[in-house]
Amino acid sequence: MSEEDSNKCEQLSLLDLKKMYYSISEVCSATSLEPHVLRYWESEFPTLRPKKNRGGKRAYQDKDIEVICQIKRLLYEENYKISGARQKLSEDRQAEAAQAGSPKRARSKTDKALNAQSVQDSSLSESCPEQSDLQCSESAMPAQILPDQISSIKKELKEILALLK
C-alpha cells in the first residue's frame, strides 16, 4: 500500500463532515479496495459490521472506515494473515477499552474464575447455612461425577423432556 493510499484512507472521514454514512463504492474508491474485499472482510472480522439501510445496502460510518484502514494496514503493510490481524484488532480494542476505563473491558480468566468461585461459595453457604464454609463445600460438591451418575441424570432429563412434549 502506498503512502498516498494510506493518507487517502485516513482522510476519508474528513472529506465530507456532514455525511454520516458512506456507500460501499465511496469507501472502495477512497481506500483503493474492491467491494468483494470489503464484503469478505466483513465475514472475517467481527469488528467490521456496517449497518444496512432500508434497501439492504451497506452504510459505512466513520468507525467502520477506521476499522477498514486498520485491517488494510495490518494485512498489506505489516503482512499479517487474516487470523493474526483479527487477533491484533481484538487485542487493540481490549487495550483501548482498558485505557479508557470502560466497564466493557474484557476480564481476565483469573477475574472470571474468582467471580465464579465467589458465586459458587455464596450459593453453597445459602444451601447449608448451619455448617461452616469448609464443611458445606465438601458436603455439597461431589469430588467426582461418575459416568453412572451422568447417564442417570441424562435419563431423567429425557423423561422430563418427554413429559413436556
Average pLDDT of span 128-144? 47
Please give the full DSSP string across the chain, using - where no structure is assigned: --HHHHHHHHHHHHH-TT-S-B-HHHHHHHHT--HHHHHHHHHH-TT---EE-TTS-EEB-HHHHHHHHHHHIIIIIS---HHHHHHHHHHHHHHHHHHHT-TTPPPPHHHHHHHHHHHHHHHHHHH-TTS-HHHHHHHHS-S---HHHHHHHHHHHHHHHHHH-
> What pLDDT score was predicted for residue 100?
79
Residue 146: pLDDT band with limits 50, 70, 90: confident
Domains of the chain: 3-100 (1.10.1660.10), 109-164 (no CATH)
pLDDT at site 148: 76
- pTM value is 0.54
For residue 161, pLDDT over 70 is answered with yes
pLDDT in tens, 66-112: 999 999 999 999 999 999 999 999 998 888 888 877 554 445 554 55
pLDDT at 126: 45
Q: Is the pLDDT of residue 120 over 70?
A: no
pLDDT digits (tens, 9 = 90+) for 59-78: 999 899 999 999 999 999 99
